[in-house]
Chains A and B, each alone.
Chain A
Amino acid sequence: MSADTPAISGASVVKLARGVRLHEDPVRGQMVLLAPERAMALDDIAVAIVQALDGKRSLDRIAGDFAAKFDAPVAEIAGDVRAFAQELAIRRLLEIVE
């Protein structure tokens, strides 16, 4: 990673960049994330994370909300959310709000 790469941390607030959207694919019976020249099939957890990237809550706050909702360990969820957001950011699929 270079010095210019936008860093994703638990404090980051992000949302899908313009031109990136969730799409219900009835032919294949799955949810896909559509982006320029990319279509990523998402599992239920990934869909839930994408839907939570609302450009208002920080990643840590989102993880906290999931932990409360699913009664699951927050540290693990926070790590997963950050890693997933980092993957999306590297592919230029996120707008970093702050």
Chain B
Amino acid sequence: MSSAIASTVHSAPVQRVPPPMAMLAELTHRCPLACPYCSNPTALTPAGEELSTEEWIGVFSQAADLGVLHLHLSGGEPAARRDLVELTRAAVSLGLYTNLITSGVGLTEARINDLAEAGLDHIQLSIQDVSPESADRIGGYKGGHERKMAVANWVAATGIPLTVNAVCHRQNMGEIDALIELAIRLGARRVEIATVQFHGWAERNKAALMPTREQVEHATQTVAAAREKYQGILVIDYVPADYYSKYPKACMGGWGRVGLNVTPSGRVLPCHAAETIPSLTFKTVREGTLSEIWYESDAFNAYRGEDWMPELCRNCERKQIDFGGCRCQAMALAGDASTTDPVCIRSPLRERLTRETERLSAMSPATLTYRGR
């Protein structure tokens, strides 16, 4: 209780940090696919360092107590964990809304039925492109697309709601219409069309993946038309290409504001790419409770509120809309995580970024550098 007394004594006005709504549990970095834009870090965690079944269940329990409502079981490919059904059952029994984010590869019909029986609430299935040839080339896994089609049918048979997730980039951006139609054919209620984010593996593939301005404008129109056409049939969530936007995205809904990620070895992060910020150190669930890490750790508090903001953001009327943009993007593009996200039109770096984006998007599609396995 001494810490409670201390915080009463130093009664500086502290903005209250809300409890997290969502937790992304990266159960493993193992994955049969090798997508060149994978959101996992370039230094992958080996299987031997993954949290045990008991440790994960302990983390889920802490998350539920902390106020997490949505649990996303992700990876890598979460089906690579032999205890996936057991973990799902535990999460559901804790009252967590449990979502499986999967490539589909590694799931059998029997396993999907077991997941349904364990109470899994929702499945999010990734699709790399519309044609099997292109999809398998992008995913780096022959036969993957065909498998995904089978998985979608098995999911539909259980009644578990399905979201199709498609990362889009220069090599598949012309297919958004067809991707949406494919999602409907597969029985999805939701589709996520998310433009690639250039961190980690995608950063290495910028020249091959950067969309053109024409593609981005066409994609935005396509999505708007499809939303109208399929209202009540399919919910379409769209993450536009922020390199061509006027203002940055409200990354993660604000640093340490809405959600947290736990890596396969239990490191707790405010987002996928947070470890690219070298000044921050992140604790693992073996070193502290989720509650301590969420509310008290330096890393989670680093970019909360406005004190960290440069003057440009602090004086900006959009500071509560986009929170200064993405910290990891500021790190990657400006070499400083606490500066304005360079995609903002008010950033002094925006002009240079526009020239660089146009240069990259005009390059001939270079060979893809695949994610390691």
One of A4, A36, A39, A89 near B21 (C-beta < 8 A):
A39
Q: Is the CB of B232 within 8 A of A36?
A: no
Q: Is the CB of A39 within 8 A of B232?
A: no
One of B66, B95, B190, B231 near A2 (C-beta < 8 A):
B231
Bound-state Cα–Cα, A68 to B233, Å: 34
| A4 with B122, Cβ < 8 A, contacts A17-B189, A19-B160, A34-B69 known | no
Q: Interface stretch among A24-32, A42-50, A55-63?
A: A24-32
Within 8 Å CB of A5, what residues of B?
231-233
Total A-B Cβ pairs within 8 A: 71
Q: Does B322 contact A (CB under 8 A)?
A: no
A56 to chain B, nearest CB (A): 19
Bound-state Cα–Cα, A65 to B230, Å: 33
Count how many chain B residues have C-beta atoms less than 8 Å from C-beta atoms of the other chain: 28
Q: Is the CB of B163 within 8 A of A36?
A: yes
B229 to chain A, nearest CB (A): 5
1-22 of chain A: CB within 8 A of chain B: 1-2, 4-6, 17-21
Interface size class of A (residues with CB under 8 A): 20 to 34
| A28 with B19, Cβ < 8 A, contacts A17-B189, A19-B122, A34-B70 known | yes
B60 to chain A, nearest CB (A): 15
One of A6, A18, A27, A34 near B232 (C-beta < 8 A):
A6
CB-defined interface of B106-143 with A at 8 Å, one 1/0 digit per residue? Answer: 00000000000000011010000000000000000000
Q: Does B67 contact A (CB under 8 A)?
A: yes
Interface centre among A23, A32, A34, A90 (most CB of B within 10 A): A34
Q: Is the CB of A23 within 8 A of B95?
A: yes
One of A18, A21, A28 near B67 (C-beta < 8 A):
A28
A-B contact pairs, 17 of them (CB 8 A): A1-B232, A2-B231, A2-B232, A4-B230, A5-B231, A5-B233, A17-B189, A21-B97, A23-B69, A25-B67, A28-B19, A28-B67, A34-B121, A36-B121, A36-B163, A37-B163, A92-B234
Residues of B participating in the A interface, judged by any CB pair closer than 8 Å? 19, 21, 65-67, 69-70, 95, 97, 99, 121-122, 124, 159-161, 163, 189-190, 228-235, 237
Residues of A participating in the B interface, judged by any CB pair closer than 8 Å? 1-2, 4-6, 17-21, 23, 25, 27-28, 32, 34, 36-37, 39, 89-92
